[in-house]
A and B are shown apart, each in its own frame.
Chain A
Amino acid sequence: MTTMLRSMLLVHARPRIARVFALLLALVGATACAQAGELPGDSVYRLDIPLVDQNGTGSHLADRRGRPQLISMFYTSCQYVCPLIIDTLRTTERSLDPAERQNLDVLVVSFDPERDTPVQLKNVFDKRKLDAGRWTLARTEAPNVRKFAAALDIRYRALADGEINHATALVLLDRDGRIVARSSTLGSADPDFVAAIRTTLAAHARSP
């Protein structure tokens, strides 16, 4: 990938500039490698889970490595708790300073891939006026939903009438995808959970 990028750039660059470019790319590459390192064994990013977001854009769960993540699960046809989950995620991140908040991404994955198409996710995204820079509503295929929920220990059961019974959990991942903290408080920001987010963000800021 890097090689490809480099050769693409070289086509248009003069030799001297090209050398500087190559050096820069090498440096960036080296930094990325140093930062990446071996994925911890208990990292949620050990899961191979493709995601599609509210814009229909595909990615992998493990692509989120590098920044702390606030994670939860929901389904959009839910009338009761799911609006509350988004409210709680929002309240939680609003209790952070704007500078802290900038380093936190929010990912909410649907329990219900059948009904939660990207269009449906986009509706909710727009209606709730979520921050497109940091928030992602995503779907993945049913077997992956099962594995993702299992890794986060979020229990749910689809019922015949279309409702999905589920435990509510907000989960904090550090930048390597390890579960640092969780909360099942709904409706308000859980102070212990917010404190854990702060600590994680501070550790991230110290050695970015």
Chain B
Amino acid sequence: MTIARTFGCLVAMACIAIATNARAADYISLPGGDFASVLPAVSDDAQDRTLAPPPVTIASFLLREEPVTNAEFLAFVRAHPDWRRDRVAGLFAEARYLSHWQSANALGTDARESQPVTHVSWFAAQAFCESEGARLPSWYEWEYAAAADETRTDARADPAWRDRILGWYATPSNAPLAEIGGAANVYGVRDLHGLVWEWVDDAGALLVASDSRDQNDPDKLAFCGAGALELKDRDNYAVLMRIALLSSLKAADTTANLGFRCAKSIEGKRR
């Protein structure tokens, strides 16, 4: 009797586990609004540098609760074999793409199902999101969602918040990646900090600071020097490091710590 009950219980739990695994990804609705980004939305010539830059207006949108996992990406690759690591076009992903998986269509022991997928290119991330009727979030959307902590929508001015995030950057990256399921922020979104870096839709658009109209210094066409000068809130290293990383990557690049989550526009709202 006891054994039967235990067995039944186990079966039920297994069923719940399977159901949980198979369900569609959860998207959380974020209200949007005016937001002070570290990346001003107006050019330097258009603004009085003594004033704070005008806030960015973000339309309400949906954001995945969690980063995309290995298991989810494996299902995508199986359904879209053009994205297998042994078939993907070189234009869309470099050689390290999904290189931590055991094979082109199996995770193996080094890549656990509930870990966020990494070693994915921007093109592959875009394709995944499109396959679930979504897109990558814009930088502003990501930064806005990630400004929150468990209780506040904008915790960025709190030194404790900054220290906690910087603490993650200080941990060595050769330790195995944790699984998803971190604490939810005030919106209900998890793992924006502390797990992986994440692609954004306009990753190729970050840190273009001086326009190429400035012909005096050809290096300004690239990003670092001039771009850094334009960024606001330079004490916010945690966020600036994200921008620095993303702006250094090309769309076919992959890294061991870079994953993604998807977003959706809400019908009738402009991004």
Residues on A facing B (Cβ under 8 Å): 40-44, 46-47, 80-81, 143, 146-147, 149-151, 153-161, 163, 165-168, 184, 186-187
A62 to B223, CA, bound (A): 31
Q: Is the CB of A161 within 8 A of B42?
A: yes
Given the complex, which residues of B lie within 8 Å of A161, measured CB to CB? 42-43, 46
Which residues of B51-95 are within 8 A (CB) of A?
54, 56, 89-92
Give, as a whole number of angstroms, the nearest-CB distance from B247 to chain A: 8
Q: Is the CB of B91 within 8 A of A160?
A: no
Q: Is the CB of A80 within 8 A of B41?
A: no
Given the complex, which residues of A lie within 8 Å of B135, measured CB to CB? 143
A66 to B48, CA, bound (A): 50
A156 to B126, CA, bound (A): 18
Q: Is the CB of A41 within 8 A of B43?
A: no
A160 to B34, CA, bound (A): 13
- Indicate the member of B126, B208, B223 with the most A CB atoms within 10 Å: B208
Nearest CB in chain B to that of A167: its residue: B221
Q: Is the CB of A146 within 8 A of B204?
A: yes
Q: Is the CB of A166 within 8 A of B92?
A: no
A166 to B211, CA, bound (A): 6
Q: Is the CB of A159 within 8 A of B91?
A: no
Given the complex, which residues of A lie within 8 Å of B209, measured CB to CB? 165
Chain B contributes a number of interface residues (CB within 8 A of A) equal to: 33
Q: Is the CB of A165 within 8 A of B211?
A: yes
Give, as a whole number of angstroms, the nearest-CB distance from A146 to chain B: 7
Give, as a whole number of angstroms, the nearest-CB distance from B220 to chain A: 10
Q: Give a binary string over B186-209; 1 marks a CB under 8 Å from any A CB, 0 the rest.
A: 000000000000000110111011
- Indicate the member of A149, A159, A166, A186 with the most B CB atoms within 10 Å: A159
Give, as a whole number of angstroms, the nearest-CB distance from A180 to chain B: 14
Q: Is the CB of A167 within 8 A of B212?
A: yes
Q: Is the CB of A150 within 8 A of B251?
A: yes
Give, as a whole number of angstroms, the nearest-CB distance from B143 to chain A: 14
Q: Does B218 contact A (CB under 8 A)?
A: yes
Which residues of B187-246 are within 8 A (CB) of A?
201-202, 204-206, 208-213, 215, 218, 221-223
Q: Is the CB of A41 within 8 A of B90?
A: yes
Given the complex, which residues of A lie within 8 Å of B92, measured CB to CB? 46
Given the complex, which residues of B lie within 8 Å of A166, measured CB to CB? 208, 211-212
Nearest CB in chain A to that of B126: its residue: A147
24 sampled A-B residue pairs with Cβ under 8 A: A40-B90, A46-B89, A80-B213, A146-B202, A146-B204, A147-B251, A150-B204, A151-B251, A153-B250, A153-B251, A155-B204, A155-B205, A155-B247, A156-B204, A157-B202, A157-B206, A159-B42, A159-B43, A159-B46, A160-B54, A161-B42, A166-B208, A166-B212, A168-B212
Give, as a whole number of angstroms, the nearest-CB distance from B125 to chain A: 11
Q: Does B101 contact A (CB under 8 A)?
A: no
Known: A44-B91, A147-B126, A150-B251. A157 touches B221 (CB 8 A): no
Q: Is the CB of B201 within 8 A of A43?
A: no
Q: Is the CB of A165 within 8 A of B43?
A: yes
Q: Is the CB of A150 within 8 A of B123?
A: yes
User: Which of B42, B56, B91, B223 interacts with A155 by CB under 8 Å?
Assistant: B223
